[in-house]
Amino acid sequence: MEREWRREQRTAGKTIAVAALAAIALIAVVAWQYAPEWLGNTPAERPGVDFSRPFAGTDYESWADGERAVVAAPEFDEMRKAVIAARIDPAELERRDGAAFLALFPEAARPVWRQQLPLFVTQLSPGVQLLPNGVKAQGTIGEVVNEQGEKVVRTDFRIAYAFAPDDPAAIHRPEDFIVMAEARLDLQQTPGGLRITNSGIRWHDAACGAYVTGLVAPKFAEARQPC
């Protein structure tokens, strides 16, 4: 009986030793992955960004370029123009006055919508510039029934903006220079022009300092536009 107990004791001891070694190995792997400096491991350098193909390797790569993304039935052409003027056309976004967008609405309503432009229009912060091929989008334009039971034409788009960096060498990941917007606008056609019934906008990876003023800039501009 004593001999069997000793055999079991030795077996148990080996099991504990193996488990301890496995635990040490696991700790070493975790340390290597999450705190590489503990073991002298230097993270591999990320490949440089190709600014001639700014969306390569991102979720936005398969989206359509610029105005090609904004497709609508002929009867919704005014709504299509509104999306392009508000979110797609780089010249309009840099002007920051929403002129082409506001022109689609009755003249009497324009002062009201002008006061709320950041809700409806992408306005680039002064000093930042989109890359030549820097707008991609994905979305739809179609008729829906809203919460009030009214028929409206809903424009529902996600738009990615790639900005020309001040220092290309300082850009290490897409989030540093690409900003994405989720923009929805419910519209109705009236004899005098369009009417807005509802809207929604959500920004991702935008510089906070520009955002709080109603403008849009990438994260690399945060240093000169802090919150």
Average pLDDT of the residues in 114-123:
96
Residue 3 predicted with pLDDT over 50: no
* Per-residue pLDDT, 9: 44
Q: Which residue has the higher pLDDT, 201 or 3?
A: 201
| CA–CA gap between residue 161 and residue 54 (Å, rounded) | 10
Parallel, antiparallel or unpaired: strands 193-204 and 151-163: unpaired
pLDDT band at 227 (very low <50, low <70, confident <90, very high): low
Average pLDDT of the residues in 202-211:
91
pLDDT, tens digit, 9 for 90 and up, residues 38-66 = 333 433 344 568 899 999 999 999 999 99
- The highest-confidence range among 1-15, 33-47, 122-136, by mean pLDDT, is 122-136
Share of the chain above pLDDT 70, in %: 77
Residue 27 predicted with pLDDT over 50: no
| CA–CA gap between residue 31 and residue 144 (Å, rounded) | 53
**Tokens representing residue 80 in the block:** 């299509």
Average pLDDT of the residues in 96-106:
97
Average pLDDT of the residues in 109-119:
96
* Per-residue pLDDT, 216: 96
* Per-residue pLDDT, 225: 61
Mean pLDDT (the chain) is 84
Nearest to 82 by CA among 197, 182, 204, 196: 196
Residue 135 predicted with pLDDT over 90: yes
Nearest to 128 by CA among 227, 220, 226, 214: 220
Residue 28 to residues 19, 34, 38, 41, Cα–Cα distance (Å):
14, 10, 10, 12
Residue 126 predicted with pLDDT over 90: yes
